[in-house]
Amino acid sequence: MVTRKNRSGKELVRLYSYGLFVVLLGFAVTYQFIEPAPPSELIIAAGSKGGAYLKYAHEYQKLLAQDRISLKILETAGSQENLALLAAGKADIALMQSGVAEAADYPEMLGIGSLYYEPLWIFTRPGFTLTKLSELSNHKVILGPEGSGTRKVVMQLLSDNRVNPDALHKIELTGKDAVAALLQGQVDVLFTITATSSTTVNALLRSKSVSLASFTRADAYTRRHNFLSKITLSQGVISLAENIPVQDVTLVAPTATLVTTENLHPALASLLTQVISKVHKRGSLLNLKRHQFPSGEYLDFPLSDDAKRFYRRGVPLLQRYLPFWAAIQLDRLKLMLLPLLALLLPLFKILPLTYRWRMRARIYRWYDTLQTLDFEVRQSLSQKAVADFLERLDHIENDVRQISVPLAYASELYSLRLHIDLLRRQINEIK
Reduce the DSSP state of residue 125 to 3 states and report it: coil
* Per-residue pLDDT, 2: 43
* Per-residue pLDDT, 351: 72
Burial of 339 (0-12, 13-18, 19+ CB in 10 A): middle
CA distances from 224 to 156, 160, 228 (A): 11, 9, 9
Please state whether beta strands 120-124 and 211-212 pair in parallel, antiparallel, or not at all (unpaired). antiparallel
Which structural domains are found in the chain, ordered by start? 2-28+333-430 (no CATH), 119-253 (3.40.190.10)
Q: Count Cα atoms within 13 angstroms, Cβ side, for 120.
A: 34
Residue-wise pLDDT tens for the chain (431 aa)?
444 445 555 666 666 676 667 667 766 666 666 667 788 899 999 988 878 899 999 999 999 999 999 999 999 988 889 999 999 999 999 999 998 888 899 999 999 999 999 999 999 998 888 889 989 888 999 998 887 888 889 999 999 999 998 889 988 888 888 889 999 999 999 999 988 878 888 889 999 889 999 999 999 999 999 899 999 999 998 889 999 999 999 999 999 999 999 999 988 999 999 999 999 887 777 766 667 789 898 899 999 998 998 888 887 777 777 787 777 767 767 766 766 677 677 777 777 777 777 778 888 888 888 888 888 887 776 667 778 888 888 888 888 888 777 777 788 888 888 888 888 888 787 66
* Per-residue pLDDT, 75: 93
CA distances from 154 to 67, 97, 214, 264 (A): 39, 13, 15, 31
Q: Distance (Å, rounded) from C-alpha 431 to C-alpha 427?
A: 7
Q: Distance (Å, rounded) from C-alpha 399 to C-alpha 421?
A: 14
What is the reported pTM? 0.69
* Per-residue pLDDT, 39: 87
> For residue 39, what is the DSSP state?
P
Reduce the DSSP state of residue 251 to 3 states and report it: strand
End-to-end Cα spacing for the chain: 35
Please state whether beta strands 140-142 and 189-193 pair in parallel, antiparallel, or not at all (unpaired). parallel
Reduce the DSSP state of residue 303 to 3 states and report it: strand
Packing angle, helices 266-280 and 52-65, rounded to 10: 120
* Per-residue pLDDT, 416: 83
